Structure 1
Amino acid sequence: MYWNEEQQSGGSNISPMEFVERSLEEIRFWSRIMKEHSLFLRLGFRCEDTQLIAEANQFFHIFERIEQQSHAFTNQTDPMTIRRFNSEVQVAAANIYAFKRKVLGLILSCQLPGANNFPLLVDHISREANYFRKRLIELNEGKLVPLADAIIKENVFFLRIMADHAKFIGHLLDPSERKLVDIARNFSNDFDELLFQARDLDGMRPYSQTVPLLDQFLDQNRVSVVSLRDFKKTARDLIEECKIKSIIHPLLADHVYREADHFLTIIDMFDAHLTGTNV
């Protein structure tokens, strides 16, 4: 996901050590996310959806095993071993992506009336599965996108994710939590605007890919992501302490907090590569 200074103009081969480190970072983060998606889907199905519940449980255990296995490797593990592991995990990511899209199709064709999985939520988590799948393919193929392209691409993806999170929080809070619902709605509007700006910047490539523009782009996004991350942390803590009314599972509250924190890490690392500073 992160590109070095010398890769800005056209990319270069990733070193074996960097390949292992990046692969394990991606798998450790996203396998936990995929595992939790399986749980959230299962909780949203109806009691009679026994086949879908069984499939969700199966994916939960698959990604739990992957997560555990990833922590058994180190940055000194043989790159060929990690390459094979990436391929195995990529298949699992492709399979859960297909499962999520199947569920989305069932919801949109009104075949799961009364279930509690929002169509946008299912689309959201399927986008994340597809992102994870493609990341592993890119790593195994040694593809390194030039830095300027990567900055815009990653921000477009994650800004949409953050906008979705704000919408989910607003809908899952009890309507009587008027102030928190308003805050979530404002975050949704803020990130929709940031996403539109990112897409505009994307449409102006390659002329928009100057260091001053990209640096300002990252700085602006960072400010909003920090605010949203802190709001999510507060909401998570209040939910865990039973201080607010909602139907948000405590694990879901922590889940969206971790994704915001992950996005901040990406922004900081991009900024460090762009400006030549240390994180």
Structure 2
Amino acid sequence: MDAFVARSLDEIRFWSRIMKEHSLFLKLGFRCEDTQLIQEADGFYRLFEQIEAKAHAFTTATDPQQIQTFNVEVYNAASHIWVFKRKVLGLILTCKLPGANNFPLLVDHTSREANYFRNRLAQLNNGQLEPLADAIIDENVFFLKIMADHAKFIGHLLDPSERKLVEQARDFSHDFDQLLWQAQDLSSMRPQSQTQPLLSQFLDQNRVSVASLRDFKKTARDLIAACRIKSIIHPLLADHVYREAERFLAIIDMFENSLTGKPSPNQGAWH
């Protein structure tokens, strides 16, 4: 099995679905009269739907050169949706879309994920993934911010009368803000902070909180699907944020395996 091919397909299969769903969520948040933006979002939905299907049609036995070409194609698509998301953010922040339902932080959040995706494809094609110690810190800084955002979105999209769940979401938001600041402190102490004991403790601590948030998201997803709680959360959005927490946990496990020298069953070594 070619590690480059396997890694590329894993990233594209996961993130192309995420980008496709972002297109839907943005579309649902536009006003009826925002026909141009709705059409653009629909176009991105179809584009990433095609990319996702193509990624699943390839296998780990596919010629690496073919995958390298595919990575460039997907990089371009991710760059275009990033530009679209930043344009939408600009419209919201300059009050050009009054009454629309996309939070500025949510649009910024989705653009950060598009940027992450295209950067990963560029790294893979250039054969320049970060060294393990840098990757551990940078990936955690990125994903801890994503998880903190998710907790805030859940808290704001639940009906205010769901007081207990709103309070739980706020608690998670606070917890992940603290973890993010800790990660940023560890980052600013580089390279002295990049010792095996510190990085291992860092991963262990984050894993506990991410697993707890993942379980909360799973419960919320199941309750929303069963129509048992009051919210304006789309069932697909509930599943979307759950999958991203699962992804983060898998990455933490991969890093732990790489740190301790264990084989990593899913994604291979980082470096």
2:203 paired residue number = 218
What SS does structure 2 have at the residue aligned with 1:76?
coil
1:119 paired residue number = 104
Does 1:37 find its partner at 2:43?
A: no
State the alpha-carbon separation in 1 of the partners of residues 51 and 232 from structure 2: 29
State the alpha-carbon separation in 1 of the partners of residues 67 and 263 from structure 2: 27
The TM-score normalised by the length of structure 2 is: 0.97
Deviation at 1:278, TM superposition (A): 3.9
Does 1:74 find its partner at 2:74?
A: no
Equivalent residue for 1:141, pick from 111, 115, 126: 126
Does 1:250 find its partner at 2:224?
A: no
1:25 paired residue number = 10
Percent identical: 75
Q: What code does the residue aligned with 2:143 have?
A: F
State the alpha-carbon separation in 1 of the partners of residues 121 and 93 from structure 2: 30
Could you list the runs of 5+ residues in structure 1 that have no partner in the other structure?
Answer: 1-15
Does 1:129 find its partner at 2:114?
A: yes
Equivalent residue for 2:150, pick from 165, 170, 182: 165
Deviation by residue 1:63-108 (Cα, 9 ceiling, x = unmatched): 0000000001000100000000000000000000000000000000
What is the CA RMSD across the aligned residues, in angstroms?
0.7
What SS does structure 1 have at the residue aligned with 2:2?
helix
Deviation at 1:145, TM superposition (A): 1.1
State the alpha-carbon separation in 2 of the partners of residues 81 and 240 from structure 1: 40
State the alpha-carbon separation in 2 of the partners of residues 267 and 174 from structure 1: 33
What SS does structure 1 have at the residue aligned with 2:156?
helix
Equivalent residue for 1:106, pick from 91, 94, 97: 91
Residues 82-97 of structure 1 mapped to structure 2, 5 A cutoff: 82-97=67-82
What SS does structure 1 have at the residue aligned with 2:82?
helix
What SS does structure 1 have at the residue aligned with 2:147?
helix
Does 1:180 find its partner at 2:165?
A: yes
1:260 paired residue number = 245
Deviation at 1:212, TM superposition (A): 0.2
State the alpha-carbon separation in 1 of the partners of residues 129 and 239 from structure 2: 31
What SS does structure 1 have at the residue aligned with 2:100?
coil
1:57 paired residue number = 42
Question: Highest relative contact order (Cα 8 Å, sep 6+), 1 or 2?
Answer: 1
Q: What code does the residue aligned with 1:127 have?
A: R
Deviation at 1:277, TM superposition (A): 2.3
Deviation by residue 1:202-240 (Cα, 9 ceiling, x = unmatched): 000001000000000000000000000000000000000
State the alpha-carbon separation in 1 of the partners of residues 24 and 179 from structure 2: 30
What SS does structure 2 have at the residue aligned with 1:183?
helix
Does 1:191 find its partner at 2:182?
A: no
Does 1:273 find its partner at 2:254?
A: no
Number of aligned residue pairs: 264
State the alpha-carbon separation in 1 of the partners of residues 103 and 211 from structure 2: 26
The TM-score normalised by the length of structure 1 is: 0.94
2:32 paired residue number = 47
Q: What code does the residue aligned with 1:128 have?
A: E
Q: What code does the residue aligned with 2:48 have?
A: F
Q: What code does the residue aligned with 1:246 have?
A: S
Equivalent residue for 1:204, pick from 183, 189, 212: 189
Q: What code does the residue aligned with 2:109 have?
A: H
